[in-house]
Amino acid sequence: MKTLYRSLTCGIVALSVGLSSAAAFATPKIWVPWPCNDNYKITQGHNTGSHTGMGGWSWDVGIPVGGALVAPADGVVRFIRMSSTRGGCDQAYINDANYVVIGFPDGTELALTHLQANSSTLKVGDHVKRGDFVGRVGLTGWVCGAHLHMAVQNSCNSSFCQSIPATFEGFGDPSLGTWIKSNNCPVAPACNAKLSGTTTLIDEVDRGCFEQQTSYWWPVAEGHNNHHYFTIASNAAAPETSGKWKFGVDVAGDYRLEVFIPNTEASSQSARYEIKTTDAARAAAGVINQATQKGWISLGLFTFAAGADRFVFLGDNTGEAIALQRKLAFDAVRLVYVPKPVDPDPVDPDPVDPDPVDPDPVDPSDAGGRDVSTIADATGSPDSARIDDALS
């Protein structure tokens, strides 16, 4: 467990009641707002316990501190707060929660509350797609244990509006104690990155070409194009959290691999990159001290065979103990084509009957209609006197 960023939930347990058959439901399809296959339990249902009045149609989910949250549907960020670091099991903290509110085209929205400070780089007006990262669970506001508070509501001029009946795709109206394994698994867009004999850049925000394993990622508004992710390095035998920059190769040959290391939130001293250049298994590409090496760093020249399944890989198993809390950064990579130099003295294909260096040499005594500007003296410079003679 990555203890600083992943803590156990205390949860809030309360009774839940069923859904009235006469209730009207929110119209858009809404998926649960945590990543694909993550499994969490409902710790409070709607219209019970603290979920009354305007906030009656709300649910609490036992997600630990640092647990990732994703957009439940395509929408627009209507409200967001990420500045609070205050929270506790007391009504005095009721106005201290961080939140993100995602609006849908029909005028309804989903509010996610008790988020971790600075866990999202989103801004009001940003568009999100279903499954996009939107923040992390924290301990801000009136909270007696780590959990997500979520409510579907009508839009108003505030982040807290009248909640409305709603269901979640595949799970309906979940009741107290229900475990929900997320089916919020949108199909990633196709990756169109190709090595084509030029320079190819792959950014970590490219959902088609950058593949993330597990949900233990933290976004930072700094780096190449003002964004990067980090996770916590570990000394595990195998990677738990990993990133893969994917691409195909149309033009085989030599490419220089460069990776971008951001200035902040990048402190791993042993980032171990791997690379897949052929149809064989991936191999070591090099080690970077992210604490001291910043900006574009070259890992060397690699020869790629043409093909589809090529990638650069970085796992969190750097050999650094989790207790050190070293941050392993994932930012852009680029591959720069390096053409092979032209051999100035190629091997003669027919050594028995070698071709002359110049099969049609110029006779210095007879310009003969040739380009006399190429006639050079012993110093390598055009001999103007001989050129004049040749033209006379």
* pLDDT tens, residue by residue, 265-319: 999 999 999 999 999 889 999 999 999 999 999 999 999 999 999 999 999 999 9
Asked whether residue 91 is domain-assigned, the answer is yes
Residues 320, 245 share a domain:
yes
Distance of CA 313 to the CA centre of its chain: 13
pLDDT of residue 355: 55
pLDDT of residue 121: 86
Residues 101, 61 share a domain:
yes
Percent of the chain scoring above 90 in pLDDT: 64
Number of domains observed in the structure of the chain: 2
State the average pLDDT for the chain: 84
Residue 289, domain CATH = 2.60.120.260
Q: Largest Cα–Cα distance in the chain?
A: 111
Which of 19-33, 46-60, 343-357, 364-378 shows the lowest per-residue confidence on average (mean pLDDT)?
364-378
The overall pTM is greater than 0.95: no
Which of 204-208, 216-220, 250-254, 312-316 shows the lowest per-residue confidence on average (mean pLDDT)?
216-220
d(CA 359, CA 374): 16
Residues 154, 216 share a domain:
no
Nearest CA to 168 out of 159, 160, 178 is that of 178
Residue 6 CB: number of other CB atoms within 10 A? 15
pLDDT of residue 7: 36
Nearest CA to 209 out of 315, 68, 310, 72 is that of 310
pLDDT of residue 281: 87
Which of 12-16, 81-85, 142-146, 357-361 shows the lowest per-residue confidence on average (mean pLDDT)?
12-16
Residues 174, 51 share a domain:
yes
Nearest CA to 185 out of 15, 34, 346 is that of 34
Percent of the chain scoring above 70 in pLDDT: 81
Length of the chain: 392
Asked whether residue 374 is domain-assigned, the answer is no
Which of 21-25, 322-326, 353-357 shows the lowest per-residue confidence on average (mean pLDDT)?
21-25
Domain that holds residue 155: 39-181
pLDDT of residue 26: 58
Look at residue 334 and tell me whether its pLDDT is greater than 60. yes
pLDDT band at 360 (very low <50, low <70, confident <90, very high): low
Residue 149, domain CATH = 2.70.70.10
At which residue do the structure tokens 């995602």 appear? Answer: 102
* pLDDT tens, residue by residue, 93-131: 999 999 999 999 999 999 999 999 999 989 999 999 999
> What does the DSSP 8-state code read for residue 169?
T
Nearest CA to 222 out of 323, 329, 123, 308 is that of 329
Hey, what are 226's tokens?
């003002």
Residue 283 vs residue 353, higher pLDDT: 283
* pLDDT tens, residue by residue, 139-188: 999 999 999 999 999 999 889 898 999 899 999 988 888 999 999 998 87
Asked whether residue 235 is domain-assigned, the answer is yes
Residues 330, 220 share a domain:
yes
pLDDT of residue 235: 97
pLDDT of residue 49: 77
Residues 114, 47 share a domain:
yes
pLDDT of residue 348: 62
3-state SS, residue 192: coil
Residues 199, 174 share a domain:
no
Asked whether residue 128 is domain-assigned, the answer is yes
